[in-house]
């Protein structure tokens, strides 16, 4: 397995820049999820590594070797696609063996590798079937096996679970994670599903508009989002974002919006003072807000818009200063629409962003 290095990678389609000077390094054996909304440049980035597209600028190195100009077949990279791309008329055994036959691998070695891959993926009993006789999850395992037999330096996966139903997706997610742990493989995995990325990856590369917004561990991306985009994209329900003005009141610093004001803790006040103007965006996760049914000091008055029970948690949608917030509640709480409520902010878990640059204002 190998390290993959992106250095100021640019891809233009005509005059449209789909990937804008993207730099990051995937360490040997790491599982990195490329995540972002539709059209942000994930598949383009993956195809640049695979050699299915040519770079406009920058460099990609695999194991220290620049691969920009190498033919796809010489890159020693295996790709697993969303649609599996299995040969319908070949058996599972033939599908698995195909990449090795193309490379003229001796028969004994080929059989051994196919059997090893089948054992690892628990598809030995399916070796003589054809793809149409397999479930979606089984087909996905065969597609993975076909990548595996090549023993590549890097695995690239483009939304490999998106054709599966929700339950199977969760199961295959765990299997893929285990597969990565067992092989210690370098994996670059494209998904638009931030939860999939959070649960599987060692690191997340969050993209938007062709720009790499943040490259870090899932924990850091969640706890310390680099900017408003990442804060809103990662986490479900999304982080609550509330525009506010910073007001100095005597020695105290307040964040104020339409019909509300919140005294900031000294740490958050220090962050707010570093904003480029007097406008900030407050960010609060649904789990960091406390809902009171009686007025309480330091809280913001609000009104319940609607209540969504989900079984494990209930989500209260609450109206504050023309915006709607989501707050998670214990399912035992009885709250109804239009009820007046008061929101308490856990200031240790409050995020502040500069309203002009949209960048995070680190605490303290
Ligand atoms: N061949 C092409 N010619 C022109 N523009 C393209 C071409 N391929 C992709 N694009 C544009 O480049 C941008 C990035 O596309 P890309 O397929 O990489 O996005 P993505 O993040 O993988 O999206 P999705 O999740 O929908 O697959 C999009 O705006 C897309 O319309």
pLDDT digits over 17-27, tens only?
999 999 999 99
- Name the average pLDDT for the chain: 92
pLDDT band, residue 307 (cuts 50/70/90): very high
User: Closest Cα to residue 137, out of 117, 92, 167?
Assistant: 167
Burial class (CB in 10 A: 0-12, 13-18, 19+), 129: middle
Q: What tens digit of pLDDT does each residue of 261-281 get?
A: 999 999 999 999 999 989 999
Residue in 42, 55, 157 to alter for ligand 1 test, most ligand atoms within 8 A of Cβ: 42
Distance 36 CA to ligand 1 centre (A): 12
Distance 131 CA to ligand 1 centre (A): 29
Do 160 and 33 form a contact (C-beta atoms < 8 A)?
A: no
pLDDT band, residue 164 (cuts 50/70/90): confident
Answer yes or no: is pLDDT of 364 > 80.
no
Do 319 and 233 form a contact (C-beta atoms < 8 A)?
A: no
| Shortest-distance Cα residue to atom 7 of ligand 1 | 13
**Res 169: pLDDT:** 84
Distance in angstroms (rounded) separating the CA atoms of residues 287 and 236: 11
H-helix or E-strand containing 273? helix 266-273
Tell me what the mean pLDDT of segment 58-74 comes to.
Answer: 92
Distance in angstroms (rounded) separating the CA atoms of residues 96 and 44: 27
SS3 label, residue 335: coil
**Res 119: pLDDT:** 87
From 27-31, 143-147, 195-199, 238-242, the region with the lowest mean pLDDT: 143-147
**Res 291: pLDDT:** 96
Answer yes or no: is pLDDT of 168 > 90.
no
Tell me what the mean pLDDT of segment 93-121 comes to.
Answer: 90
**Res 9: pLDDT:** 97
Distance in angstroms (rounded) separating the CA atoms of residues 240 and 351: 10
pLDDT band, residue 254 (cuts 50/70/90): very high
**Res 211: pLDDT:** 98
pLDDT band, residue 74 (cuts 50/70/90): confident
Residue in 41, 83, 207, 209 to alter for ligand 1 test, most ligand atoms within 8 A of Cβ: 41
Distance in angstroms (rounded) separating the CA atoms of residues 143 and 81: 8
**Res 273: pLDDT:** 92
Tell me what the mean pLDDT of segment 315-343 comes to.
Answer: 93
CA 145 to chain centre: 24
Distance 279 CA to ligand 1 centre (A): 34
Q: Please name each of the domains of the chain with its CATH number.
A: 4-233 (3.40.50.300), 240-354 (2.40.50.140)
Sheet containing strand 65-66, edge to edge, reads 16-26, 4-13, 57-62, 65-66
Answer yes or no: is pLDDT of 58 > 90.
yes
Tell me what the mean pLDDT of segment 159-180 comes to.
Answer: 84
Output the CA torsion 61→67→69→71 (10° steps): -160
User: What's the half-sphere exposure (Cβ side, CA atoms, 13 Å) at 262?
Assistant: 30
Distance 41 CA to ligand 1 centre (A): 6
Q: What residues contact residue 209 under an 8 Å CB cut-off, 6+ apart? A: 20, 40, 41
pLDDT band, residue 127 (cuts 50/70/90): very high
Distance 13 CA to ligand 1 centre (A): 9
Distance in angstroms (rounded) separating the CA atoms of residues 60 and 194: 25
pLDDT band, residue 249 (cuts 50/70/90): confident
Answer yes or no: is pLDDT of 28 > 90.
yes
Atom in ligand 1 nearest the alpha carbon of residue 19 = 14
Residues with CB under 6 A from ligand 1: 13, 16, 18, 36, 38-44, 192
Q: What residues contact residue 90 under an 8 Å CB cut-off, 6+ apart? A: 98, 130
Tell me what the mean pLDDT of segment 52-70 comes to.
Answer: 94
pTM of the model: 0.90
CA distances from 78 to 35, 147, 186, 320, 356 (A): 20, 5, 11, 50, 42
299 secondary structure, DSSP code:
P
Give the ipTM of the model, two decimals please: 0.97
Residue in 9, 16, 19 to alter for ligand 1 test, most ligand atoms within 8 A of Cβ: 16
CA 216 to chain centre: 11
Name the range with the highest mean pLDDT among 25-39, 78-92, 117-131, 144-158: 25-39
SS3 label, residue 223: helix
Answer yes or no: is pLDDT of 84 > 80.
no
Distance 357 CA to ligand 1 centre (A): 26
CA 50 to chain centre: 20
Answer yes or no: is pLDDT of 251 > 90.
no
**Res 121: pLDDT:** 81
Residue in 10, 12, 43 to alter for ligand 1 test, most ligand atoms within 8 A of Cβ: 43
Distance 323 CA to ligand 1 centre (A): 32
């Amino acid at each position: 397995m190998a390290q993959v290095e992106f250095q100021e990678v640019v891809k233009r389609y005509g005059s449209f820049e789909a990937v804008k000077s993207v730099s990051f390094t995937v360490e040997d054996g790491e599982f990195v999820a490329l995540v972002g909304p539709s059209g942000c440049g994930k598949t383009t980035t993956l195809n640049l590594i695979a050699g299915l597209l040519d770079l406009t600028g920058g460099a990609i190195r695999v194991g220290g070797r620049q691969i920009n100009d190498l033919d796809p077949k010489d890159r020693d990279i295996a790709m697993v696609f969303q649609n599996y791309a299995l040969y319908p008329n070949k058996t599972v055994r033939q599908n698995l063996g195909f990449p090795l036959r193309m490379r003229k691998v001796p028969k004994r070695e080929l059989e051994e590798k196919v059997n090893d891959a089948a054992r690892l993926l628990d598809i030995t009993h399916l070796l003589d079937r054809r793809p149409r006789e397999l479930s979606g999850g089984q087909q996905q395992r065969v597609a993975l096996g076909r990548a595996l037999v090549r023993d590549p330096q890097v695995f690239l996966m483009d939304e490999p679970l998106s054709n599966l139903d929700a339950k199977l997706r969760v199961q295959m997610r765990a299997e893929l994670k285990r597969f990565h742990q067992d092989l210690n493989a370098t994996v670059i995995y494209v998904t638009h599903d931030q939860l999939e990325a959070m649960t599987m990856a060692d690191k997340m590369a969050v993209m938007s508009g062709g720009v790499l917004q943040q490259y870090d561990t899932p924990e850091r991306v969640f706890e310390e989002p680099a900017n408003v985009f990442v804060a809103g994209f990662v986490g479900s329900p999304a982080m609550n974002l509330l525009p506010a003005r910073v007001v100095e009141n005597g020695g105290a610093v307040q964040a104020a919006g339409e019909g509300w004001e919140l005294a900031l803790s000294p740490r958050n006040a220090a962050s707010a003072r570093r904003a480029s103007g007097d406008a900030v965006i407050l960010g609060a996760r649904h789990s960091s807000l406390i809902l009171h049914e009686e007025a309480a000091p330091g809280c913001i008055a609000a009104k319940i818009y609607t209540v969504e029970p989900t079984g494990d948690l209930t989500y209260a949608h609450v109206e504050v200063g023309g915006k709607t917030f989501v707050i998670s509640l214990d399912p035992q709480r009885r709250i109804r629409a239009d009820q007046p409520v008061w929101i308490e902010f856990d200031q240790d878990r409050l995020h502040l962003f500069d309203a002009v640059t949209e960048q995070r204002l680190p605490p303290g």
